[in-house]
């Protein structure tokens, strides 16, 4: 595999580990991936709940938690570490400012267009900025806005296709439509980015995500113009993944029919593994009375069938009576727990064999 170049960073294996919240990808998984030559990513979502012993104040605990996770990752690796921040989070600015002040290598921002992201960089900042998009149009808007307002272009762009786990940037009817397939999106976005690359003489590599599971998948998508891939699902069933054994077991136990599109309280469709909790929601049995965290801007407690952050923290602990696991379309393919090293060896072998 060709190394992935993001500015002055050279990533030996062009694999970014997806930032999975709440608590699924923290310092443990991120450091393990970075040690294998990929980019390890810490999810900043919901850290205030994981660090509530530090402070009952969700926002304070989130900042402390992010600093702690970055510190722990740095203790375990000299490799490239990123932080994933959701634009839709109410503490988006706190998480961005903290990531930059802690000098993380990369910030990945999705779940909305991060139109003001470069405004948080200081003169001496070395952190690279990577937006997540789901269309060529979104990539164009970000490049134009950043260049016009901040004289900055994305250091790379991630496109998440409709086979990804978690919240999807597509309407429900687009998810199964081939016009929105990752294989169609990649060449479109590569062409769009090339206009900016040529005009400003700057490389903007495209990283493909959503449904990438094997080395062969990596080879196929790179043939279409991607410079690297982002993978989340494949890393869940690893020793180093920060989730509970119960969460990992949900992936191993899942059949293809168990992975379905759900309606999320945040107003976007999401892909998850069917659980008794999801069934209860379908049957109309869940309704939060109050919103203790106000974690997502687009979440309306008066219409929400449940509190998403509590459901995800329960799943992180393995409690599927009161939670559910987000998962990519290939989650059912996991049959055992492996080490991150074994996953990388397997990806490299599969890639080589498919060339």
The residue with tokens 């992975």 is 259
User: Which tens digit of pLDDT belongs to each residue from 224-234?
Assistant: 999 999 999 99
Report in angstroms the alpha-carbon separations of 94 from 6, 101, 258. Answer: 24, 10, 36
Residue 314 has pLDDT above 70, yes or no: yes
Report the residue count for the chain.
355
H/E stretch holding 6 reads: strand 4-6
| Interval 262-299: pLDDT, tens | 887 777 888 999 988 888 888 877 666 566 656 665 66
Fold of 4-242+336-354: TIM Barrel (3.20.20)
**Burial (CB count within 10 angstroms: exposed 0-12, middle 13-18, buried 19+), residue 322:** middle
From residue 14, alpha-carbon distances to 73, 169, 227, 276 in Å are 20, 24, 7, 37
pLDDT in tens, 319-332: 888 888 999 999 99
- The whole-number average pLDDT for the span 102-129 is 95
Mean pLDDT confidence for 17-42: 96
pLDDT surpassing 80 at residue 28: yes
Contacts of 285 (CB under 8 A, 6+ apart): none
Please state the rounded mean pLDDT for residues 181-208.
Answer: 97
Q: State the alpha helices, DSSP H only, in the chain.
A: 27-35, 47-50, 58-76, 92-101, 136-150, 182-200, 215-223, 233-236, 245-253, 276-282, 308-316, 340-354
Q: What angle do CA 107, 110, 114 make, to 5 degrees?
A: 80
User: Is 32's pLDDT higher than 70?
Assistant: yes
SS3 (DSSP) at 317: coil
Instruction: Please classify residue 140 by burial: count the beta carbons closer than 10 Å to its beta carbon, then call 0-12 exposed, 13-18 middle and 19+ buried.
Output: middle
Contact call for residues 15 and 6 (beta carbons, < 8 A): no
Contact 233, 327 (CB under 8 A): yes
Q: Is 153 helix (H, G, I), strand (E, B) or coil?
A: coil
* Amino acid 49: pLDDT: 85
Q: Does 336 score more than 90 pLDDT? A: yes
Q: What is the pLDDT of residues 51-95, one digit of tens each?
A: 999 998 889 999 999 999 999 999 999 999 999 998 877 789 999
Averaged pLDDT, 123-135: 96
The domain spans of the chain are 4-242+336-354, 245-331
**pTM for the full model?**
0.93
| Segment 10-27, tens digit of pLDDT | 999 999 999 998 899 999
């Amino acid at each position: 595999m060709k190394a992935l170049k993001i500015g002055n960073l050279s990533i030996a294996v062009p694999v970014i580990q997806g930032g999975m919240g709440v608590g699924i990808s923290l310092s443990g998984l991120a450091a393990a991936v970075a040690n294998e030559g990929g980019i390890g990513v810490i999810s900043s979502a919901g850290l205030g709940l994981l660090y509530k012993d530090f402070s009952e104040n969700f926002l304070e605990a989130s900042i402390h938690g992010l600093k702690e996770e970055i510190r722990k990752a740095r203790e375990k690796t000299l490799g490239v570490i990123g932080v994933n921040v959701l634009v839709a989070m109410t503490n988006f600015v706190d998480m961005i400012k903290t990531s930059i002040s802690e000098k993380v290598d990369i910030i990945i921002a999705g779940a909305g267009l991060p139109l003001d992201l470069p405004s948080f960089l200081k003169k001496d900042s070395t952190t690279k900025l990577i937006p997540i998009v789901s269309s060529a149009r979104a990539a164009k808007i970000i490049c134009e806005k950043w260049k016009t307002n901040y004289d900055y272009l994305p250091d790379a762009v991630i496109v998440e296709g409709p086979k990804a786990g978690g919240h999807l940037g597509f309407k429900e009817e687009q998810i199964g439509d081939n016009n929105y397939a990752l294989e169609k999106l990649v060449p479109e976005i590569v062409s769009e980015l090339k206009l900016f690359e040529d005009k400003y003489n700057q490389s903007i590599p495209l990283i493909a995500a959503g449904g990438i599971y094997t080395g062969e998948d990596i080879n196929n998508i790179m043939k279409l113009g991607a410079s690297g891939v982002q993978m989340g699902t494949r890393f869940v069933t690893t020793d180093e993944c920060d989730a509970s054994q119960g969460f990992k077991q949900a992936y191993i136990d899942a059949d293809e029919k168990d992975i379905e599109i759900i309606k999320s309280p945040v107003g976007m469709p999401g892909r998850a593994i069917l659980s008794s909790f999801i069934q209860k929601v379908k049957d109309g049995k869940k309704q939060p009375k109050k919103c203790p965290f106000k974690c997502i801007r687009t979440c309306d407690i008066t219409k929400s069938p449940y509190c998403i952050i509590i459901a995800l923290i329960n799943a992180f602990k393995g409690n599927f009576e009161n939670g559910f696991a987000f998962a990519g379309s290939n989650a059912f393919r996991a049959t055992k727990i492996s080490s991150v090293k074994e996953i990388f060896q397997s990806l490299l072998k599969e890639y080589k064999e498919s060339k």
